[in-house]
Structure 1
């Protein structure tokens, strides 16, 4: 019994903190705003650690590759897995909307945040690069930092013996920042508890407003995708044992994702879970950080729901082939350009509204839905990365990819 409690102590404390926070939010309502800074401090600690952790994880993984490990194949399979699961999520949602149509009982609300629209060229430039080195240290430049980490890893690999000392530095940095994450997560029950209290207390009442129908559809499809499709992906990757291992180690990443509403903040938890799932470091340290920025099953589902709501509001059909094809293409694009940070979907909303030629009035309802579904969307975005890494391992390393279960 003592051994069991020792193994699951962290998870038990985390769930306890979340339950207490949720109850406090439901009972106290808006009064829980007073403890929001506690959740913010926890989230800031995660964000502070995650940028260097991702850099060291990717750069050290590439620097450690040998001639027998084909990075090109790994990245190719990773891209195919990411795009495939995003499209599956979108198709499942479209079918659900056809079965349970969203009626026009929605009232648009004013925009609560100012959104500036940059020229497309500037958006593309800022997405992949920064003009100063220090800007790579911001979580808002995650994709640019990931690209720089890949270049650094390749440069270290090609430097050979002369780069050995730097490669050791990268490996040491990776280990140090993984331990920093472990230390931060010791206050996770308090930090996530405070965040859950705030979410339930402040946003809970809105769930029963005019957007209840679309919310119910989203959370229903999301729950189905989370339980059924993730289990199916894990089964494809490694059979029943992979399914058991996935769900056994998916609790902490799930709680972190819902509590922080950030895929990026969940990367450290995912890396730790991937190791326990038996995924090799060479695969996990590349696919999971990439997934935190580029792979978003939850955003794919929310994009389709937002499109369906906007189409209903403006009296347009969401059933013709051209509309569906554009919708599928938009979900892939949105998955690539959305940031892995809270409320990062505004760019995606602007994209699909522009693509379909809707007026600016279409933006507020999309933003409202995006805000209300953010916890579930992040849960799917973040925890989908580890099961995607399982699939990548299966298709790159073969049937025997699972390493012995880590303690």
Structure 2
């Protein structure tokens, strides 16, 4: 079997919480050696982000909770107090051997410790240094801190998410998951991979990558934001209604809900036939997609009445047979019960010290030549400190024990 795509790449990961750790986890999945730097005693802030926690053999909660476990597999954890001179020396020593340095401290924080890009590139000119921040390295908001929900609000995402005006519960709404963190992690990964390729083909030059959550959420609004740029008008919140093809949205059936997206005129004709209302196809209000968009409320109301006449299972089968895109509205349990999800192996099992069969979500990438076949459990706090310091920096056991006594590691 071929080596993983990023075998031989070494990542020094000083990121915490979610966006940065998700990106570093991606590199670990792809075969890079990822060395995660955590604070002695406390570790990554994510370890304190609430239950559920894994418990030790005595039934006591540990600092290995679901939030931390979601973003830190396939890494090594070492504890280093970067506020100490000795800790800073350790980080600079590791950086000298690294391909990539990742951090998500507030702008300027690491300069106080001699761990900023300018200092690190003097030690390692080829280093790819990726800074993940809320607002980026420049601009009036650069010094500010922030979290996912703040950027969903400030970047405009919440303005187009939620129930339509005039309906119960109308108003801006946060997306259920930390979607901006996830997208920022993906952007960081793309940036680092691009910089690694540039370094390989252009003479070994490293560089600084500036990735921000605020930039990411704005860019992610894509066609919604482009509507504003073209028309000068912000698109309204549409609840579960679609934004292009019509009709599209969640429809209540006799025993639950399904999501339907009618993407073109042919699909509309087939959906009307399934629903027992073929006459709708020749109605002047609904002949073309733009006609249906102009009369969206009316066609949605007609469809809503038709779907109530039978069950979710019945309609899904009929629509699938007709080649119309649709799907059930699943909760998380139903997601992992889905036979397609099971066939794709989206749940993987790893052996963790506190859970012999810990379930994780597999990486979404599938390679034909270099498949991701191994998943290591997210590390315990400082699990690999001795191994990394002795292996990379050649510290002997006496020096390591002395650093532990001083609280450096």
Asked whether the two chains share a fold, i.e. TM above 0.5, the reply is no
TM-score by length of 1: 0.22
Higher strand share: 2
TM-score by length of 2: 0.22
Q: Flag the structure with more relative contact order, 1 or 2, with Cα contacts below 8 A and sequence separation at least 6.
A: 1
Structure with larger Rg: 2
